[in-house]
Amino acid sequence: MLRTHSCGELTKKNEGKKVTLVGWVKTLRVQGKVSFLLLRDRDGITQCFLNDELTKKTSDITPESVVLVEGKVKVRPDKQIRKDIKTGEIEIETSKIEIISKAEVPLPIEVEEETTTHIDKRVDNRFLDLRRDKVNAIFRVRSKIAQHTVEFFSKEGFVNINSPKLTESGVESGAEEFKLPYFKKTASLAQSPQVYKQMFVISGLERVYEIGTVFRAEKSHTTRHLTEFTGIDMEMGFIENEHDVMDVVENYFKYLLTEVSKSCKEELELLKVKLNVPKKIPRLDISEIRKILKEKKKNIPEDDDLDAEAEKLLSEYVKEKYKCDFVFALNYPWKKRPFYHMRPENNPKGTRSFDLIYNGVEIGTGAQREHRLEILEKQAKEKGIDLKKMKFYRDIFRFGAPPHGGVGLGLDRITEQLLNLDNIREAILLPRDPERLTP
């Protein structure tokens, strides 16, 4: 490796040691004949002192250039300890400095922690935007969320699957498909792994999950919609009802928030986020929610979904009453749900379904699925779908299908809500929306 240490690693214990650091130039402050260079890498920042000779040699260094610094670790006097950086008790007495890659000036966006640059311009220059600690921290947290998700579902006996993204047609009514030429056919990019996760439960794996890309040709311009996002999907067999699925989802979020609190301490502190691990997530029937919202002057007709404002108002109510950031909304109207959701025996207008709302935004949808082929066919017909045309999906219910259910969650939305970000584009490295196909 080019370096002996990272820029966040050195302490006074390393006093006198000869080290080599490599990183980006955060700032170069010239003071008279000498100068101070702040060198940054993924681990932190180290101050390097340059004497007059090196200062002269490096007068053309530009911010964000990559440089290599050799020198000795010097302990700073107590009064001069820098509290703003974690290596503040030391500095490097530089003996050699080499420019490895000089950055052009001016930079297309500023690389300052606090910036007013619009998210669109930041995404255009995402590789530079990520050099800001706070942005970098978001993606370290997102990576940990994915890691703890794998841990949780593995621990619970779920098998990780990868289902095709090039498909013949989707099943998510309401969500538009991206069509593309596929040799002599037309293919659709998968809007969800729905049919496959059901298939693999029924095939005998019983419990499956997938973290994978989901495509939706939605012309939405909101702070919560993307045309390409990462789904966390799970499906489980032999359930009694949708509450068994919710139990697993509840345990998942308890585990996730507990683990992220531990593994992302520094990042959460930097982003000023305090996680509130749920004890018990309230489960409210949609009819009860309608009443609650009515009192807040928000009318939701009987056959309608909760809109973004309703989800926000509901979350505020739950936060106050149950001290919880999450809420399950149950029993959505059949009119608004896909054909594969099971309907309760005593209420054909409802479904054995739920949404999970986290700090005012829907982050998950789940349900018990209809596993009885005759009823499934009837339900599909009601929605104008001929199941015979989806032969491979219909077939999975013909040879022994256990009662089952599952949930689809969005990794981007979970990250957005967990970190209190104001736009889903902050939670994904390179967002895709109706206008954006680059970088």
Residue 400 beta carbon to ligand AMO: minimum distance, rounded to whole angstroms: 22
In angstroms, give the least distance from the CB of 236 to ligand AMO.
Answer: 11
Among the listed residues 72, 74, 102, 225, the single contact to ligand AMO using CB under 6 A: 225
363 binds ligand AMO (CB under 6 A): yes
Interface residue with ligand AMO among 44, 237, 364, 431 (CB under 6 A) is: 364
DSSP per residue, 43-109? TEEEEEEE-HHHHHHTTT--TT-EEEEEEEEEEPPGGG--SSSTTTTEEEEEEEEEEEEPPPSS-SS
For the bound state, the minimum distance from the C-beta of residue 244 to ligand AMO, rounded and expressed in Å, comes to 14
Q: Which residues contact 59 (CB under 8 A, 6 or more apart)?
A: none
- Residue carrying the six token digits 């009694």: 240
Neighbours of 136 (CB within 10 A): 15
Segment lying near ligand AMO (by CB under 6 A), choices 24-32, 59-67, 144-152, 362-370? 362-370
- What residues from 388 to 417 belong to the interface with ligand AMO (CB under 6 A)? 406-410, 412-413
Q: Least Å distance between CB 138 and ligand AMO?
A: 16
What does DSSP assign to residue 373?
H
Alpha helices in 336-395 (DSSP H): 373-382, 391-395
- Binding-site size for ligand AMO (CB under 6 A) equals 24
With CB under 6 A as the contact rule, which of the stretches 78-86, 324-332, 363-371, 396-404 interacts with ligand AMO? 363-371
Q: Closest CB to ligand AMO among 58 and 351?
A: 351
Spatial separation of the C-alpha atoms in residues 407 and 426, rounded to whole Å: 24
Between 187 and 363, CB nearer to ligand AMO: 363
Burial class (CB in 10 A: 0-12, 13-18, 19+), 59: exposed
How far the first Cα of the chain sits from its last, in Å, is 30
Q: How far is the CB of 406 from ligand AMO (least distance, A)?
A: 5
- Could you give the dihedral angle defined by the CA atoms of residues 263, 415, 231 and 348, in that order, rounded to the nearest 10 degrees? 120
Applying CB under 6 A, does 362 fall inside the site for ligand AMO?
yes
Question: What minimum distance in Å lies between the beta carbon of 409 and ligand AMO?
Answer: 6
Contacts of 189 (CB under 8 A, 6+ apart): 165, 166, 167, 177, 178, 180, 215
Q: At what angle do helices 411-418 and 133-155 cross, to 10 degrees?
A: 120
Name the residue nearer to ligand AMO (CB basis): 58 or 359.
Answer: 359
CB of 147 to ligand AMO, least distance (A): 19
Closest CA to 434 of 178, 110, 53, 61: 178
Fill in the DSSP letter of residue 125.
T
* 231 touches ligand AMO by CB under 6 A: yes
Q: Does 194 bind ligand AMO (CB under 6 A)?
A: yes
Nearer to ligand AMO, 229 or 339 (CB): 229
Please pick, from the candidates 35, 167, 192, 315, the single residue that binds ligand AMO as defined by CB under 6 A.
192
Does 367 engage in binding with ligand AMO (CB under 6 A)? yes
Minimum Å gap between C-beta 387 and ligand AMO is: 17
325 binds ligand AMO (CB under 6 A): no
Structure tokens at 139: 């993606």
* Dihedral, 281, 285, 287, 292 alpha carbons, nearest 10: -10
Q: Is the dihedral of CA 351, 341, 336, 296 positive or negative?
A: positive
Q: Which of 9, 43, 168, 218 binds ligand AMO (CB under 6 A)?
A: 218
**Interface with ligand AMO, residue 366, by CB under 6 A:** yes
CB contact at 8 A, 402 and 238: yes
Name which of 259 and 412 has its Cβ closer to ligand AMO: 412
What minimum distance in Å lies between the beta carbon of 254 and ligand AMO? Answer: 19
Min CB(361)–ligand AMO separation in Å: 8
Q: Which window, 2-10, 226-234, 260-268, 328-336, contacts ligand AMO (CB under 6 A)? A: 226-234
User: Does 175 contact ligand AMO by CB under 6 A?
Assistant: yes
Give residues in contact with ligand AMO (CB under 6 A). 172, 175, 192, 194, 216, 218, 225-226, 229, 231, 233, 362-367, 406-410, 412-413
